[in-house]
Structure 1
Amino acid sequence: MRNFWTACGHQHLTRNERGWLVASPDYWRLWLQRPEMALVPESCKAEKRLHAALAESPNKQVTLADYKHFKDDDVRENYKLFLRFRDDVESAGSLEAAYMGWIQSGNIQLPPLFIDLVVQAIVCNVLTGVDDAWVWRAAELLFRRQRITVQEGRVLSGDSDTLDTLQATGGLGEMGRLLMEGGAPLKAVDVKVLHQDNEDRYLSQREGLGRYAFLLDMTHEIQNELPHGLILKMVNSRSGLKALSAVLARWVQHFLGVAVQIEPVQKVDDPAWRWHVGLDVTATALLNDLYQGTELTAQRQQQLISLFKLRFDNPQDMRADVQGKPVYLGLAMNEQGLLKLKPQNLLLNLPLARAA
């Protein structure tokens, strides 16, 4: 696996016979170093004692008696959540099996941060052997909320948390925040659209704020104005939508064991439309309305980022009543221009002939 995103701990995971990720003691030790779990000067004796015991033996069985006397209620709750998470993963046998258990339960009792870090580690596994910067950047959509903007006809996707932080600090951290609050002028942060000229820079940045400071162009077509008022429309050869399609196809193969092909499309012109899956909450509602023949307002149409067509390589992998039919996918931003892709939707809602 590429040495990306080491904060998610993928470097401390091994693969089982199925190729799914198994936690090592060092994986759990990394969690103990996270801000939510790390010791601070105010940590009480009971917390220090349990933290040291878990650092020594990360799979140690812990009872309520080990942390009920913590002085800080928030710290006590953090330990309860961490231990529930650890025990779920160990019981399931792999991160992928635990993830499937959580999403199939319909009642995930872990913070979104836990799920996002698990998905991030799994994505590293899914993209083993891939060196394409656009594919890696598109994969961030599976675990990082995006802010979508349209500039001069181009649809750009940027990491929401990173953009918010850069806007607040000028890219200079806490010092930048203080300077901006004091009215000091700061140079505008240079956020780049991922391009052939900077792909090596993207691939070389492993950690820190800059790691997510690249915008992904998710435009279907590029328009070039020619002399005499002519406009040439060309397919965007480096569209983030194509890269995202590749990521999602690998995601399905990894979890469900079925091969699919996914391609972005601009519209659904299919009188035999039988099945669709929204990749986020907004897209699900939009696709449901389109399927029912409900006319969308102009505002809702503008929220739709793209449609996709998914086909199974082997139609026998599909339910008999829809064999050979395409599955349409949708991706959309909400009214605030935010996109939170839900990769679990593909695992739960495809018309499979058998249970995964």
Structure 2
Amino acid sequence: MPDFWVASGHQLCERDAAGRLLATPDLWRAFLARPELVPPEEACDAERALHLSLLEDPVQPVPPMALAALTDPDARENWQVFLAFRDRVTAQPTLEAAWLALYRGGVGGVPPLFLQMLTQLVARAALEGVGDAFALRAAECLFRPQRAAIHHGALLLADEEVVALRAQAADLGPLGRLLSEAGAPAREVELDVLGEADPAPYAARSDAHDFVLDIAEGRPGQHGMARALERFIGHVLGEGVTIRPVPVIEDAAWSWHVGLDGEATSIANDLWHGTSVEQARLARILWLGVLEFMDGTRVLPRVAGRPVYLVLAMDAAQRVRMKPQNLATGLPLIAAEAAL
């Protein structure tokens, strides 16, 4: 298998017997090398000394007096935030456990960038050994916002940041207008639609995040999304599941659903409660899946033997903001309910 998402820093982690990630000092050094944490030119000597000390021993305790010595209050707050995040992560045995603990315990005050980096690492471990490029590309949605477009029967997802950067650079192409018209600069952007399952071409460009994924009904990307979610749930939650895409929910006994983003949660909740939903809002639903657990004893009794519906949607601006944490807190698992 070719390596992919090299920029995630997954090679800087060790793995336990179950393949879950163990943070190393080098991983924390990669965090410390981020421009958000490297002291700027105008930084005081105390901040430079703190940064150098942490580079030598990234998990060392930092006494309050070391932070109090920083002259810039914004820098002091930034370091407090980073150290609080580091301490919450290192308190857990693995990065997967830390990811779960963060989202189940509350992520208030944790910068979205740190959560994105952690989610990518966990997703990378979950997709280890997967030989389907469509599943790998679909898994990018777990940690990178997307922009959606419908074109000639295709339902396209493109990386939002890539679309914006290409549009700014006037990198012209046939899909740009469709992908950037909902709020991005009105220029066309040259992007390639992923067209083969072979992971090698995808892996060669995986850190660029510049492949477009077609998740229309019957397309490989639709099934790739299901495979990516299966692997993520199995790896992070330790729950074996099967997921199959469906075009609609036709279930008079519909008992449980999980919105994979805020928009999907809102729409699915309204439908479940019998609230009338306008057609234009319904059209924002991009992907539906039916999830079934392999071990029914792990499921809440009221849902045992019933399918769980997964819903992914775009917002009014055609943005897709997947929230994988909804899988950690929203699936009808006995263990998850006890943890909450």
Report the TM-score when normalising by structure 2.
0.89
Q: Match for residue 218 of structure 1?
A: 215
* Alignment pair present for 1:249 and 2:246: no
Deviation at 1:310, TM superposition (A): 0.6
Indicate conservation of the 8 Å contact 2:298/2:335, yes or no: yes
Asked if 1 retains the 8 angstrom alpha-carbon contact of 2:226 and 2:245, the reply is: yes
C-alpha distance in 2 between matches for 1:129 and 1:322: 32
2:319 aligned residue (325, 338, 352): 338
Match of 1:351 in 2: 332
CA spacing shift, 1:345–1:200, aligned 2, 3 Å: same
The one-character-per-residue Cα deviations of 1:88-115 (angstroms, maximum 9, x if unpaired) are: 1111122111111111123432011111
Distance change >3 Å, CA 128–CA 167, structure 1 → 2: same
Distance of 1:219 and 1:351 partners within structure 2: 28
Find the residue that maps to 1:4 and give its secondary structure: coil
Paired with 1:335 and 1:65, the residues of 2 have a C-alpha distance of 48
Q: Is the 8 A contact 1:139 1:247 kept in 2?
A: yes
In 2, Cα distance between equivalents of 1:18 and 1:131: 20
Query: Aligned pair 1:121/2:134, yes or no?
Result: no
Deviates more, 1:107-116 or 1:118-127: 107-116
Partner residue of 2:305?
324
Partner of 1:223: none
Q: How many residues were matched structurally? A: 323
Q: Give the 3-state SS of the residue equivalent to 1:310 in structure 2.
A: strand
Contact 1:3 1:11 (8 Å CA) reproduced: no
List alignment gaps of at least 5 residues for structure 2.
173-186
Q: TM-score, normalised by structure 1?
A: 0.85
Q: For the residues of structure 1 that align with 2:34 and 2:3, how far apart are their CA atoms? A: 19
Question: Contact 1:145–1:341 (CA<8 Å) still a contact in 2?
Answer: yes
Report if aligned partners of 1:303, 1:334 keep a CA contact under 8 Å in 2.
yes
Tell me what 1:102 maps to: 102
Distance in 2, Cα, partners of 1:86 & 1:197: 37
Please tell me whether the aligned partners of residues 126 and 236 of structure 2 are also in contact (alpha carbons under 8 angstroms): no
- Change in Cα spacing, 1:7 to 1:171, as seen in structure 2 (3 Å) is farther
Report the RMSD for the aligned CA atoms in angstroms. 2.1
The farther-off stretch of 343-352 and 39-48 is 39-48
Q: Distance in 1 between matches of 2:316 and 2:83?
A: 37
Alignment check: 8 A CA contact 1:3 1:206 kept: no
CA separation of 1:87/1:205 partners in 2, compared to 1, >3 Å: closer, same or farther? same
Q: Contact (CA 8 Å) 1:315, 1:324: kept in 2 or not? A: yes
1:199 Cα deviation after fit: 6.0
Instruction: Name structure 1 gaps, 5 residues minimum.
Output: 173-186, 221-234
Tell me the secondary structure at the aligned position of residue 283 of structure 2: helix
Any idea what SS the aligned residue of 1:88 has?
Answer: helix
Provide the C-alpha distance between the structure 1 equivalents of 2:17 and 2:288, rounded to a whole number of angstroms. Answer: 35
Range moving further from structure 2, 197-206 or 56-65? 197-206
Q: Which stretches of structure 1, 4 residues or more, deviate above 6 A after TM superposition?
A: none
Partners of 1:277 and 1:329 within 8 A in 2: yes
CA displacement, residues 254-275 of structure 1 (integer Å, 9 cap, x when unaligned): 1222211111111111111111
